[in-house]
Amino acid sequence: MAEIKPILVACCGNPLAGDDAFGHLVAMRLLRDPPPGCEILDLATNPASLLDHLEGRRVLIIVDAAEPGHGEAGELFECDWRDPNRPAFINQSDLSTHGLSITQQLELAQSLGVLPEVVRIIAMTITSAQVYAKSDAKVLEQSAAASRRVAELAGWLA
Amino acid sequence: MSDSNRPEQARTIRVGALARVEGEGALHLAMRDGKVDLVKLEIYEPPRFFEAFLRGRDFREVPDITARICGICPVAYQMSACHALEKAMSIANDVDPAIRTLRNLLYCGEWIESHVLHIFMLHLPDFLGYESAISMAADHAPTVKRALRLKKLGNAIVAAVAGRCVHPINVCVGGFYSPLSEQAAAGLLPETRACLDEMCDLTLFLAQKLQYPDFERDYEFVALCPDNEYPMNQGRIKSSRGLNIDQQEFGEAIEERHVEHSTALHAVIKGRGSYMVGPLSRLNLNADKLHQRAAELLPKVCKAVGKELPWRNNFLSLPARAIETVHSLALAADILAAYKKPARSFVPVTPRAGAGAHGTEAPRGICWHRYSTGPTGAIESARIIPPTAQNQMTIEEDLWKMAEQVKSLSDDQACHRCEHLIRNYDPCISCSVHFLKFDRRWK
């Protein structure tokens, strides 16, 4: 019987870029107290490596910041990657340097037949991703809420 | 994209550039009486603030700062910086052979991940007629999966030697803060050997199954040419037209010119003209120094593409990169198999006033740095010449010829052919599929 790999929780975000640190902060919380059955991946410095971790996974949870203009600033939202009505920002492909963006990696994974059965996105709408800026206090607050939501999802999806 | 001008009509073509590229490319063609009258390639190169804000920094900070110039080839910037500063600090001759070997291993990792990304994700779709690697993957999943495995290994080698695959953190002037452990080296070896066999197979596939457009020009090829090894970190700078200079002299041998239509400088060899750096140049000038595994493949590749070296068709840069990837995997396997932790991982450095210049072979070609330092080791001046900047004029000259060849094609087709040509050079601007603003006017 093929080994069942843990749920992959992939957290994206630059810890040095203001509110973009949201995903990284969630990763730090989850790494201190990982939900059962989860593997936590902090993609802070290498988002283009997500594809390396997908094969054999049934469930992927992505945690990331969303640009201003997608919902109220400071609010969390959640969607399924396969939802045809998913927010437009998820379709952006200009998110990485010299590598495949998160969206491109998911699309490539789909083409290769390795996209997990369940791909859930948890995002927080931020106001600024300015480099060397401090994160807004709301980011810290919502990173705790997002961590709790990841644990909740992991319990349902395991 | 709007319709193009034809001899009888006047119209303008614009292709919207994508924002996700590091640089934007805009190509303007003017046709007069059915002939190419003007070609302008505008590259919006980021301003060289690096050369300015390095001034006053401690020399020890330079490798970490210059690594940020590029996300796909940070190793090249770090290696060139270290070598140049070691000359400035007068310790260049003191660097242990074991440290040099580790530097070569690190470069192998970078060449593997950079070349594989470009060959299979950015360039191969052009040859197979796909919009992108994503659409290509649906029909060529096994090939793409093998490529991803190779790229993962390249990243793993860089991370193991230099601490991180993006903007490495273990590189310092004099060597490395911490040496690769023997256990880590042993752990990488099996996958390296397996990937070597895969890449040999893939190289033959690329040579035998792809159609390479006929496009030859008489380039001046420029590359490092060490005596006893394929160029990565060391060597005099030589060319196919007799250039043979020490590293220190390169900055004086070339001239960088501002051109009105582009923020990218055009580099020329003084008294001559444009030149090419990159895999084709390296291979043409150093094929006799390839690792045996790559050297054994080369005749089969030449037979398959129908051309013996020297190759003057830059569409053959794809098989050239593939051969270099085989070389890198084979060299990495040798280094890992014989690896013993060095007695010291870096040479101590005493800050001093000095100056030094050095170029190493980034995946895209010679990346050359020059620094001068004050008595405390603070940077007083910096000059950085990236490979993509050196190729700008050559790319434009290629496009002159290509513009003539594609004049009867539709604007969509012509734009695609021009983008494909530019991707031969693997410039940073080709990270996206459609980066080109295409503007062709007929008079």
Whether A67 contacts chain B with CB within 8 A: no
For residue B265, pLDDT beyond 90: no
- What total number of domains does chain B contain? 1
Portion 121-150 of A in contact with B at CB < 8 A: none
B30 near B403, Cβ under 8 Å? no
pLDDT tens digits, one per residue of A20-57: 899 999 999 999 999 999 999 998 767 878 998 999 99
Cα-Cα-Cα-Cα dihedral of B282, B284, B286, B292, to 10°? Answer: 100
The superfamily in CATH containing domain A7-157 is: HybD-like (3.40.50.1450)
Residue B175's alpha-carbon distances to B73, B83, B106, B185, B379, in angstroms, are 18, 10, 11, 17, 19
Higher pLDDT, A94 or A2: A2
Q: Is the pLDDT of residue B264 over 70?
A: no
Tell whether the torsion through CA atoms of B328, B329, B334 and B335 is positive or negative: positive
Highest mean pLDDT, choosing among B132-146, B295-309, B396-410: B295-309
Helix-, strand-, coil-residue percentages of chain A, each rounded to 5: 35, 20, 40
pLDDT of B325 reads 98
**CB distance A111–B135 less than 8 Å?**
yes
d(CA B202, CA B148): 13
Asked if A94 and B20 come within 8 Å (Cβ–Cβ), the reply is yes
Residue B340 lies in a domain: yes
Residue B272 — very low, low, confident or very high, per pLDDT cuts 50/70/90?
A: very high
CATH number of the domain where residue B322 is located: 1.10.645.10
Instruction: Give the relative orientation of helices A22-32 and A137-157 as an angle to the nearest 10 degrees.
Output: 50
* pLDDT of B67 higher than 60: yes
Provide the residue type at B272 as one letter.
R
Residue B58 DSSP code? B
Q: Which tokens hold the place of B65?
A: 């700062």
Sign of CA dihedral B292, B297, B300, B303: negative
- Split at pLDDT 50, 70, 90, the class of B4 is very low
| Complex-level ipTM | 0.84
How close B389 comes to chain A (CA, Å)? 17
Lowest mean pLDDT among A139-148, B229-238, B300-309: A139-148
> Å from A156 to nearest chain B CA?
31
Which chain A residues touch B20 with a CB distance below 8 Å? 92-95, 101
- Residue A97 has a pLDDT of 39
Nearest residue of A to residue B149, measured between CA atoms = A52
What is the least distance, in Å, from the CA of B438 to any CA of chain A? Answer: 20
- Measured between CA atoms, how close is A155 to chain B, in angstroms? 31
Residue contact A99–B138, C-beta within 8 A: no
Q: Across residues B334-348, what is the average pLDDT?
A: 97
Pairing status of strand A7-11 against strand B379-385: unpaired
pLDDT above 80 for B356: yes
Asked if residue B150 is part of any domain, the answer here is yes
Residue percentage of chain B with pLDDT more than 70: 89
Q: What local confidence, expressed as pLDDT, does residue B23 receive?
A: 52
**Does residue A105 belong to the interface with chain B, where contact is any CB pair within 8 Å?**
no
* C-beta of residue B85 within 8 angstroms of C-beta of residue B59: yes
pLDDT digits (tens, 9 = 90+) for A65-104: 988 776 788 889 899 999 888 877 666 554 333 567 788 8
- Which residue has 């033959």 as its token pair? B204
CB contacts, 8 Å: A49 with chain B: 152, 155, 165
In this complex, is the C-beta atom of B338 within 8 Å of any C-beta atom belonging to chain A? Answer: no
Answer yes or no: is pLDDT of B149 > 70: yes
**Which spans in B27-140 are helix H?**
49-53, 62-66, 74-88, 97-116, 124-128, 133-139
Q: Which of B134, B164, B431 sits opposite A111 (nearest CB)?
A: B134
**What's the distance, Cα to Cα, between the start and end of chain B in Å?**
19
Best A112, A114, A132 member to test B by mutation, with max B CBs in 10 Å, is A112
pLDDT score of A91: 67
* Each residue's pLDDT tens digit, B211-236: 999 999 999 999 999 999 999 999 99
Strands (E), chain A: 7-11, 38-42, 59-66, 76-80, 118-125
A98: left (phi over 0), alpha (psi -120 to 50) or beta: left
Q: What is the pLDDT of residue B5?
A: 45
Whether the pLDDT of residue B440 is over 50: the answer is yes
CA B357 distance to own-chain centroid: 19
Taking the C-alpha atoms of residue A134 and residue A123, their distance in angstroms, rounded to an integer, is 19
* Neighboring chain B residues of A98 at a CB cutoff of 8 Å: 22, 70-72, 117, 428, 431
- The residue of chain A with its CA nearest to that of B167 is A45
Which of the pair, B204 or B423, is modelled with greater confidence?
B204
pLDDT, average across residues B102-115: 97
Peptide bond into B310 cis (omega under 30): yes
- Looking at residue B193, its amino acid is R
Evaluate if residue B34 carries a pLDDT over 70: yes
* B 100-159 residues with CB < 8 A to A: 117, 121, 133-135, 137-138, 141, 144-145, 148, 152, 155
E-assigned strands of B310-396?
354-362, 365-373, 379-385
Q: For position B434, what pLDDT does the model report? A: 39
Restricting to B residues 289-318, those with a Cβ less than 8 Å away from any Cβ of A are none
Do B145 and A112 make contact, defined as CB atoms within 8 angstroms?
yes
| Residue B185 distance to chain A (closest CA, Å) | 21
Across B192-203, average pLDDT: 98
The β-bridge partners of B441 are B30
* Helix, strand, or coil (residue B352): coil
Q: Are strands A118-125 and A59-66 parallel, antiparallel or unpaired?
A: parallel
Provide the whole-model pTM.
0.91
Q: Mean per-residue pLDDT for B293-313?
A: 98
Domain of B306? Answer: 55-220+273-389
Show me where the domains of chain A are located: 7-157
Out of A77-86, B58-67, B80-89, B95-104, pick the least confident: A77-86
